[in-house]
Structure 1
Amino acid sequence: MSLVFQTLNLLSVERNSYGVRTGDYLRYRKHCTRKINKLRRNLKLTNGKGKRFNKCTAESILRQSDIRVLELLLLSADKYWAESQENKDATSKLRRSDQFANVLIEASSKFGLHSSDTVQLEIYHKFIQGSYNLSKNKFHDALNLLSISYVYLKNLINAAPNDKIRALGEGWLDELSPKIRYCSYQSGNKSTSHEIDRIANEHSSSHSFVQLEYSQEDKPTKVKNLTWRGKELRLTSVDVVEAIHKLQSVIDKKSGKSTQSLSNYDEILNTYTNAIEISPQGLLKQVLTYKMLALRLERDLKINNQLESNEPAKNRSKVKVIDGIIFTLEQLRNLHIVESDDSDLSGYVETKISYHQALKNYTLGLSHLMAHSYGPSIRLLESCKFYNRSGLELLMSLDESTLNHSEAFEPVVDIALIEDLNKMVDTALVNSKKAWFAQQFKRPLFFDIANTYVEPPLDYILDKSQSKDTKPSKKEAQKPPTGHVISSEDSKQTQDSAEKNANKTASSGWFGSLWKR
């Protein structure tokens, strides 16, 4: 029975878990050093203590019959490779890595590994040798070695029984491809340096490849094809494959139910978040983010439909939900795959934003109308017509390919939907204006400086001016009418009125106005 030693999987797990994914090579080297020391103690391959120094040589390592010695040699080679990535003098570190890789190949020959494991060791060995020759500017030799590793990876991907191994191969291909292009360019093949498959096949034709076979698994990890605009996306990490497999399992489990509850949406959204965090920067991360935001939008629309009410308190909650919908749509619009889409996908999203802006202002306008605040209600309803007009113009300018997008999401905003909202806005606007003009305002006596449109009380001023003109003067009042005989009572009244006028005159000065004298 052949033993199993998956080189690429082991390196992928160790690198991604301890800093290589984020470029922290120092952390990865420290981790490798700790693990190497632990393996040396367990395998009794230390240099020894005491007066006599016993160096651990390659011969003593090759005499080991424990398969863990392969892990020890692999981590030792990869530790020096990681040190070469952050060191200016990379050649010396890669030379040490190449030495450990050669011992690793020699030690693996006596364990009877499966052909797939032997191929993975050969891929790593050629990768280290090619990197070492590249650091010495031996571009032709480096191109031959890296091409052998590339062709092995292609064979491994084609024969892979599950998506995990296929993703491992894709991830290592991404690391090899730039090196092959650079070596080809430096070797003089400048016109066709982008044709990696052809270059690799040409420079590895003289190598005798090992026949690759895999044992079939009982339950292979199978991931449904992820596509964007008809193009299948590449998975380049085992962690990503596991996260997406879990995501698709949760989606299949929850979507099979007749009614989707909010808890189901939240569980799927959490799984989407975990997959996005693990995914590397690139198209896959953007597509997963797009699908997550579209699902979040579907959940918010369901909440919004449950809040259909004419109560101001419910409308306040509804406005908050619509704000969340607008925020999600703005995040969708700002994604790179949306901005750079050939069929103007950003215009498709912008139409939905305009519609929901109008819907938000319509809800606020109704709330002000129910609260008898007619001025703000009219202003908000007028802004609804502006957003509807903008959305209709955008919608008319879009092509059919944009409207029939393969990754389209709810709600479907069309001309009929915008016209229906316009009719509701017009009805609410008429009701607001009628209620505002029917309201009885109490006109102020004086000018209101805050509202310059208030008319002055001209009738009141005119009445006052006419009454002042018709009032007789003092001399005419004191002069008795002709033909009238003054009696004793009339003279008494005249004296009393004269005394009152004298008192008024005495109290009209400064001091008189103070003490009323």
Structure 2
Amino acid sequence: MLNGRFLRQRDEFEDALTQLCVARNLLNELADAAPTSRDQALATFFSDEIGPEIRYCAHELGRSKAYDVEGIVHEISGGYKNKLVEGCDSILAKFKDEVTFGKGESLKKLEPLIWEKEPVPVRNPELVDVLLKVQQAEKKLRAFSGATDGKNSAPGSKKGVAAYDAILLALSDAEEVARKLSEAEQSSGQSPNSASGSRNLHFIHNFITYQLLSHRIQRDLLLVSALTLQATSTQKGLQTTKGNTPQVDSRLFPATVKLLDTILQSLEQMRTLSIVEETPDLASAVEARISYTKARRCLEVSRCYAPLKKYAESLALLQHLNIHIRETNSLMSLSPTDAISSATPSFYIICSTDVAKLENEASTESLRFKREWLTYNGGSVSGDPTLYKKPLFFNIALNYVDLNVDRLQKRVGKLQVVPPTVVVAPSAVKSETVAQKKAAQIEHEPRPATPEPRIAPARSGLSSLLGGWWGKS
């Protein structure tokens, strides 16, 4: 390889092309038969560096297909390989036999990285070392997930969080290495791309960052589920013992809001990645999760305001939640399949059922806040709760039931019976008034006393009888 570069600098393009093609062929053979991923990355790295020089020499020699580097290498290296390297075929065969019978190298073999059903080649040995650590952490995480499937293990346990912390630490190291390599590549102006169009370090950096953010989101969701499950179990225990509505710990909802803020930050950072922007379905899936997370955050923040008796703020947040719900439904309807839920591995799986469940939960909380606000100060924004008197049930029932109020007041005794009013003609009223006055005067005039009848003395015998016949006494 060094001899070929020296010949190219002296403008001896034909000899330089032969030397470089043989070196490229040997490096390809070493990369295919490499026992470890690091050795494979080293061979691939130097092979990619020769590619542009082969293309330049072929162009200077006037070849029509100077762009086809692999074709030129296959054409030239076959005839000059054994001439330039003595016993080249036997050396390669012996090397492959040693690799075949080698032991203990399986842990150093990197599994292929897949993006959109295509392999992602890793052509840098520094990246291979850190990605091997990521691979080992992923195996531990998959082993933990497989052990907890089908068992009643609590989400957010210490082992699960520790597994996510291990893979996040490995991915953070890998992201830092990829970022430094990408910055070095941009500053030097070199781009190690092969003729088949391999992905550069910038894409590798974006890919590792995407994996880091996805695992971070999944870890935060695990913690949110743990907090929600703990609050639910506490509520059930208090309801079974006391039979009333329990008071949730005031620290629960602020802690959930902080985790949702971290998830939202990771999703927004993921949306700015170039590999996400280049895929419309993936971009719409990330935006749908951003809107859904904002809706969940509005619900949790409204629950934070309720214990402080700030019901107006809680209801305003729930109204804002409905906007994010509509955005989520609109974004999810843009593609028939969700690019994140159908990927391997998947994270933050949401569907229309989850969105409908969140909407129903928000409606329930809105009704509860309205009732508590009415009980607190009658639904007034600036009213003093100490001056507020709760309305009687009778006054509340009037808003919902049609009652005969007059009949109820009559039965209570609060209704005064008014005699019916008789309408008469004016002349009759005047005559009646005069007659009443005369009758009143007559009643007030003095009358002589009625004399008492005299009683005649009684007579006896015949005289009284004869006097009765002739009318004489």
Which TM-score applies when normalising by structure 1?
Answer: 0.57
| Cα distance change on mapping 1:143 and 1:423 into 2, 3 Å | same
Matches of residues 280-295 of structure 1 in structure 2 within 5 Å? Answer: 280=181, 281-295=201-215
When structure 1 is superposed on structure 2, of 152-161 and 426-435 the one drifting more is: 426-435
Displacement of 1:423 after TM fit? 1.1
User: What secondary structure does 1:400 align onto?
Assistant: coil
Residue 276 of structure 1 aligns with which residue? 175
Residue 222 of structure 2 aligns with which residue? 302
Residue 194 of structure 1 aligns with which residue? 67
User: What secondary structure does 1:307 align onto?
Assistant: helix
Displacement of 1:237 after TM fit? 3.1
CA distance in 1, matches of 2:263, 2:340: 20
- Spell out, residue by residue over 1:341-365, the C-alpha distance to the aligned partner (whole angstroms, 9 max, x if none): 2x52011111111100000011111
CA distance in 1, matches of 2:334, 2:81: 59
Residue 203 of structure 1 aligns with which residue? 76
CA distance in 1, matches of 2:250, 2:320: 20
| Cα distance change on mapping 1:312 and 1:401 into 2, 3 Å | closer
CA distance in 1, matches of 2:204, 2:251: 42
Instruction: Select the residue among 112, 117, 121 that pairs with 1:230.
Output: 117
- Spell out, residue by residue over 1:196-254, the C-alpha distance to the aligned partner (whole angstroms, 9 max, x if none): 11011223343033121312332223222222222222232333333222322233234
Q: Does 1:152 align with 2:16?
A: no
CA distance in 2, matches of 1:247, 1:436: 52
Displacement of 1:408 after TM fit? 5.3
Residue 377 of structure 1 aligns with which residue? 314
| Cα distance change on mapping 1:326 and 1:401 into 2, 3 Å | closer
User: What secondary structure does 1:203 align onto?
Assistant: helix
Residue 430 of structure 1 aligns with which residue? 367
Displacement of 1:160 after TM fit? 2.5
Which aligned segments of 4 or more residues in structure 1 are displaced greater than 6 angstroms? none
| Cα distance change on mapping 1:203 and 1:244 into 2, 3 Å | same
| Cα distance change on mapping 1:158 and 1:282 into 2, 3 Å | same
Structure 2 gaps of 5+ residues are 83-87, 149-158, 182-200, 232-247, 385-473
- Spell out, residue by residue over 1:446-470, the C-alpha distance to the aligned partner (whole angstroms, 9 max, x if none): xxxxxxxxxxxxxxxxxxxxxxxxx
Residue 350 of structure 2 aligns with which residue? 413
| Cα distance change on mapping 1:378 and 1:186 into 2, 3 Å | farther
Contact (CA 8 Å) 2:22, 2:81: kept in 1 or not?
no
CA distance in 2, matches of 1:443, 1:219: 76
CA distance in 1, matches of 2:10, 2:342: 51
Contact (CA 8 Å) 1:351, 1:413: kept in 2 or not?
no
Instruction: Select the residue among 137, 156, 161 that pairs with 1:250.
Output: 137
Displacement of 1:411 after TM fit? 2.1
Residue 467 of structure 2 aligns with which residue? none
Contact (CA 8 Å) 2:332, 2:338: kept in 1 or not?
no
User: What secondary structure does 1:402 align onto?
Assistant: coil
Identity %: 24
CA RMSD of superposed structures (Å): 2.4
Residue 395 of structure 1 aligns with which residue? 332
Residue 44 of structure 2 aligns with which residue? 170
Q: How many residues align?
A: 316
Letter in 1 for 2:219: R
Letter in 1 for 2:137: V
Residue 471 of structure 1 aligns with which residue? none
| Cα distance change on mapping 1:395 and 1:313 into 2, 3 Å | same
User: What secondary structure does 1:134 align onto?
Assistant: helix
Instruction: Select the residue among 104, 107, 121 that pairs with 1:219.
Output: 104
Displacement of 1:436 after TM fit? 3.9
Displacement of 1:291 after TM fit? 1.8
Letter in 2 for 1:362: L
User: What secondary structure does 1:227 align onto?
Assistant: strand
User: What secondary structure does 1:232 align onto?
Assistant: strand
CA distance in 1, matches of 2:255, 2:356: 25
Residue 135 of structure 1 aligns with which residue? 9
Contact (CA 8 Å) 2:38, 2:125: kept in 1 or not?
yes
CA distance in 1, matches of 2:210, 2:250: 34
User: What secondary structure does 1:154 align onto?
Assistant: helix
Residue 186 of structure 2 aligns with which residue? none
Letter in 2 for 1:425: A
Residue 37 of structure 1 aligns with which residue? none
Residue 54 of structure 2 aligns with which residue? 180
Displacement of 1:403 after TM fit? 5.6
Q: Does 1:319 align with 2:257?
A: yes
Matches of residues 476-487 of structure 1 in structure 2 within 5 Å? Answer: none
Residue 39 of structure 1 aligns with which residue? none
Letter in 1 for 2:208: L
Instruction: Select the residue among 361, 368, 372 that pairs with 2:305.
Output: 368
CA distance in 1, matches of 2:140, 2:366: 47
Residue 462 of structure 1 aligns with which residue? none
- Spell out, residue by residue over 1:159-214, the C-alpha distance to the aligned partner (whole angstroms, 9 max, x if none): 33332322211111221112222333333335x33321101122334303312131
CA distance in 1, matches of 2:22, 2:31: 14
Contact (CA 8 Å) 1:144, 1:203: kept in 2 or not?
yes
CA distance in 1, matches of 2:307, 2:62: 78
